[in-house]
Every structure is written in C-alpha cells, then in structure tokens.
Chains A and B, each alone.
Chain A
Amino acid sequence: MVDKDISEKKAKYLQEQHLVDFIVPIISIIAGLIVGAIFMLIIGAEPIKAYIVLWNSSFGSLRGFGEMLVNTVPLIFTGLAVAFGFKIGLFNIGGDGQFLVSYLAAAYIGYMFQLPMYIHLPFALIAGMIAGGIWGGIAGYLKAKLGIHEVITTIMFNYIALYLVGYLAGGPLKAEGLLPATPKIFDTAKLPRFVPTMRIHYGIFLALAVAVLIYYILWKTTFGYEVRATGQNPDAAQFGGINVARNMVLAMFISGALAGLAGTTQALGLEYRAYQPFGFVGYGFTGIAVALVGKGHPGGVVLGALLFGVLSRGAMMMQSMVGVPKEVIEIIQAIIIMFIASEYIFKYLARKWRERKGGVADAS
C-alpha cells in the first residue's frame, strides 16, 4: 500500500514537473511579448502591427525564412553548450569566448591549408571544435581540480579570447590590405550553401544532427548517465563510484566545443574568414536564454534557438518598417529569462492555489 502511494505520488510529481517544463517557458514568452508591447505603446507604435512584421520577416518569404535560419544556427550550438553544462551542474557563460577562438581557429585552417574538401572541411570543423573545447575545458579543469567557480573563469576567458583573437586577426594572421581580417578560406573548407542566392548553409543540418547526438549522449550512454547523476548530486555520484572530476573537465570540453561550433560554422559557412572582433556578438549570452527556454533539453534548445532566431531577424525589420527600436528585442529577451528563472514562484503560486482549492486534506 505504502509503495503504491509513493509511486503514485512520484508519478504525479513527474507529471507536474513536465507540465511546468512546458507551461513556464510559454508563460514567460507571452510575458516577454506583453512587456515588449507595453514599451511599443509608450513610444506610440502599434504592437500588433509590429508583431505581424516580426512574424512575416521570418515566415513571409523563403528569403526571410533562410535568413532566420542563418541566425538560428549559432544559437542552437551555444544553447546546446549551456544546456550540456547545466546537465552536469556547471554554468558555462563563456560561450562568447569559445565562439571567438573557434571562429579564428577554423578560419586559420581554412586558409592555411590546401586539401581536398573531404579532408579540409572536417579538419577545419574539428580544429574549431577543439579550440572551443580547450577554452571551455580549462574552466572545467580549474573547477574540478581547484574548485574555482566556472562562472568567474569563463567570464575571464571571454575577455582573454576577445583580445587574443583581436590581436591575432588584426596582427600576425591579418591578410594584406586594409581589412582587419584573416585571408579568405579556400572553397574546400567552406560549408556549402544549398539554396542559390541565399546565405543559409549546411550548418543548419549539422546543428540539428549535433542536437540529436547530444540527446543520444545524455540519455543513451553511460557517460551521459554519469553527467546527469553528477548534476543531480555530485557527492552521491562521487560516492557511487563516478569520477566526478574527470567528467567535469570532459563535460566543459564538450560544452566549449559546442559553443565553438557556433564560431566554426560562422567562419566556414557565412563569413569565409575571421574578422577582428570589436566586441562580443552575444551568441554565448543568448545561448543562456535559449537553454532556459528549452529547459535544457536538446529538442527544446532547437525550438528556443528558432524563437530567438525569429526575434533577432524581426528586430531589424520592426525598426525599419514600424519604427520600433530594435533594442526592444533585448528587453523582451531579458523578461523571458527573468520569468523562466523565477520558476520557483510559479510552483509556489500553483501550490497555494491548489491548497486553497483542495482544502486542508491535501496540504500535508
């Protein structure tokens, strides 16, 4: 009887958790859009018109759809990077730095070597992944060996990457001429485009494949099990014979490699060279929002990346067509993150509401 009670309660709890996982992101997105609308009303713009423009900018034409996907590719990678870190209980906010080192590394391999495509392209992709992986792995190592908070190290490594890549792309690796960028990569290292006259490239399929791979690693392999167990309770995992330190380093390497793929595909699929950065593009930080919206699940991450891909694509159009400053998108994004992060308050309110409805009997 007791066993049945517990299993019933557990099932109910899990069901509730799944419900929360779906409902909280949706409420948060709606809240973000409402706050965005309020800002638009304040400046005298028409929110409904603006949101129609936002929608049409991605779904109104094939070209728009392709451009939206171009925005989505890096966000799938950085979202997966943050989500993978979350699973082992680490917060990788170094996505922007990992993006940059990989961006440069991939471009470097792209223009330094002349190889057949079937060697050159994988070589450049792997080099980019390894660069980002090392950048993230160092933070994992410092966490595992010395207990230094990964948030601090990944922030520091972001700026080290910014200036290092700035120095290399504007100095030793700079192409001749005025442009502060590396030379162009060879065609054999390019991620091909699959619709003529559009910028969308095979990176989108790579991103989807990697999302499936990450799902497989996390839920179908021993390593994935260990990662999740460590994330749930590191002490118990250690006690159960899991090598927590090794897994942390490996997980941060993978997380860094994932964020690195964002930079790699940017160089090989879109820009065909590495420009000297003047600041962060912000894919790493948006990746945090993507992972939160996706509740850390690879499938959710893909949906989250699409959402933010649509928002960033629509931002420019809203500005030029309805006169809404494009920064309103950042405000919406921040509100969405805040709401999802405050999940506790949703659960708390839900419990209160149920207690009132169910009376005292259910309160225990």
Chain B
Amino acid sequence: MLANLTALLSTTLRMATPLILAALGGMFSERSGVINIALEGIMLIGAFTAMAGSYFFSPWIGVLGAVIVGMIIAAAHALVSISFRADQIVSGTAINIFAAGITGFLLRLIFGDAGQSPSVQDVGTWKIPFIKNIPVIGGVFGEQIPFVYIALILVAVSYWILFKTPFGLRIRSVGEHPAAADSVGINVIGMRYIAVIMSGFFAGLAGASLSIGLLDLFVKNMSSGRGFIALAAMIFGRWTPHGAMLAALLFGFADALQMLAQTIGLTFVPRQFLLMAPYILTILALTGVIGRSTPPAADGEPYIKEEV
C-alpha cells in the first residue's frame, strides 16, 4: 500500500515535470500578451536536440542545446507574430507542423529510422541526502531526475521574477495594457520579444526532460500533446507559476494513475477517462465552474504603436 502510494506520487512528480516547465514558458509569453501554442513544437524540437546532443557529445550538452534551439525557434515565433504582425495562432501552428517535419526528417537522416532514435545516455538521477531516508517523502523527493528539482526551483524563480522585480512588472504591464506601458516609456515590442524567447528556454528544457530525463531516447512526435496540456495547466493555474505547478501536478497525477492503473488496481476506470481529465478540468475552470480563470487583457493582440 505504502509502496504503491510512493510509486504513485513519485510518478506524478516525474510526469508533471515537463508540464511545469512548459507551462512556465507559456506563462511568460502570455503575460506579455503573446499566445504561444508553439510550446508543443518547441518541446518536440527540444527533445530531439537534447537526444542528439547526448548522442554526439554528452547529456548536459544536450540540455544546453535544447534550451538554445528552443530560444531560437521562439525568436522566430516572436519575429513573425510581433514584428510581421502575423496571427499568433497561425505562426504557432506553422511552428508545430515544422517541428514534426524537421524532427522526423533529421531522425530519418541521422539514424535511418523513422520511429525512434537509438538509446542514448540520459542525465541520470540526483540523490538528496537526509531527505532520501524519510519514508514516503524520501521515495518521492529523495532521488529523482534532475529536471524535477530544476522545475521546482524555476517555479520559485519565476514567481520572484514575475511578481517581485521591475522586469516582471514590465512584462505584466505590456500584456495587460500595452498602450499605457508604452506611454511610461516601456519598450512593448522589446519586452514581448524577451518574454517569448524566455518561453522557448522553458519549452526547450521541457523537451529535454522528455527525451533524456523521463526516457533515454527520442520517439517520433514524443511531445504528443504535452505542450497543449501545459497550456491548459497554465490556464488552470490562472497564469501564475505556483498555480501552473499545482495544475501540472494534478494533471501529472491523472497521468500517473493511468500508468499505474494495473499495479494499484484501478482497472475499473477506462484509461482514456484519466487521460482526458486535464482537458475537461481546464474547460470547467474557464467556464467558472471551479473558480474563474481570466487571461491577461491584451493576450493575443498585436501591439501597433499609434502614429504621432
């Protein structure tokens, strides 16, 4: 029983990690007023880059590569949707299609296999002394993949950046009322670029956590909707880091239940119901059935400076 509980909670935390990371990315982007549905594609490219980095060099170089490539792709989204004033959804969709194409293309090219890469070295686990020996808690937090700890730390860091620094205030102001922000001298376009590129950092990291954290290889289209679940977690968590984390944990729990259904004797619930739970909960959260989520006021609207 206790072993089951430990396994369930530890799996929850692990499955929630990519969601937490990508949700933080989405949060920065949307707080600045740019919808980023490209999270899904950036995660996929991040996962591929991390795997390739580990294959040719080492796992941590793979992680570094994933965040850099993530930021580059996000910069493309910023360029097209902020400067070229393209529809943000269209640009995000194009990136998602591009991501599926380029990763599939390179997979076939480098490894000659369409389905998955060979097994590479993953980042391993980190052991936390003392905590490791506490029952249950030790089993959950004592030894996890590094991304788990990185994600939890980044939640705190993101909270601090967003709510406690002038930089965070600027991001929020350009997302709520860009014209007002502009009138007090904040560079709206510049802030949005930074926020969107930050979202690429987080989504790239989330991708790395999939391929060389949770697994040790890249599988075609392995993000399989996690970017969209992360978007849902961000909304469910009302565009806050801690809220997004809690939502991601809830969704991770649903995922863990589904994975461990056999072991814990939960076979009477069809696994599809557990898989669709995050999406239904998010719709309910948006409709106000469980607390109303409201997006930043200027979310999704391009900013066009008035001519003087």
Contacts and interface: CB of A to CB of B under 8 A. Distances in A.
Given A146-B286, A341-B94, A159 B228 contact: yes
Contact of B300 (A43, A149, A329, A337): A149
A56 interface: no
Interface in A243-273: none
Contacts of B90: 288, 292, 337, 341
A72 interface: no
B288 A149 contact: no
Contacts of A151: 35, 37, 89
Interface string A230-247: 000000000000000000
B108 A325 contact: yes
Contacts of B94: 334-335, 337-338, 341
A259 to B, nearest CB: 15
Interface string B76-94: 0000100111110111011
Given A43-B109, A142-B287, A338-B80, A164 B89 contact: no
A144 to B, nearest CB: 13
Interface string A329-363: 11101110110011111000000000000000000
Interface string B203-227: 0000000000000000001001100
Contact of A163 (B37, B276, B300): B276
Contacts of B224: 279
B295 interface: yes
A117 interface: no
B279 A342 contact: no
Given A152-B231, A342-B86, A325 B80 contact: no
Given A43-B109, A342-B80, A325 B104 contact: yes
Contacts of B87: 91, 341
A153 B35 CA distance: 14
Nearest to A168: B272
B273 interface: yes
B120 interface: no
A37 interface: no
A155 interface: yes
Interface in B284-308: 286-288, 295, 299-300
Contacts of A335: 94, 98
A327 interface: yes
Interface in A294-342: 325-331, 333-335, 337-338, 341-342
Contacts, number: 131
Most-contacted residue by chain B among A142, A155, A166, A343 (CB, 10 A): A155
Interface in B91-123: 91, 93-98, 100-105, 108-109, 114
Interface residues of A, number: 45
A288 B37 CA distance: 14
A171 interface: yes
B231 A334 contact: no
A327 B231 contact: no
Given A325-B109, A341-B87, A156 B80 contact: no
B86 A344 contact: yes
B107 to A, nearest CB: 8
A121 B84 CA distance: 47
B23 to A, nearest CB: 14
B287 A148 contact: yes
B29 to A, nearest CB: 14
Contact of B101 (A142, A149, A328, A344): A328
15 contacts: A151-B89, A152-B286, A156-B232, A159-B276, A160-B283, A163-B276, A164-B276, A167-B272, A285-B93, A288-B90, A328-B105, A330-B98, A330-B104, A341-B94, A342-B84
Interface of B: 35, 37, 80, 83-87, 89-91, 93-98, 100-105, 108-109, 114, 221, 224-225, 228-229, 231-232, 235, 270, 272-273, 275-276, 279-280, 282-283, 286-288, 295, 299-300
What are the 6 A-B residue pairs with the smallest beta carbon separation, nearest first?
A330-B101, A334-B98, A327-B104, A341-B86, A167-B272, A337-B94
Interface of A: 39, 43, 91, 93, 142, 146, 148-149, 151-153, 155-160, 162-164, 166-167, 171, 279, 285, 288-289, 292, 325-331, 333-335, 337-338, 341-345
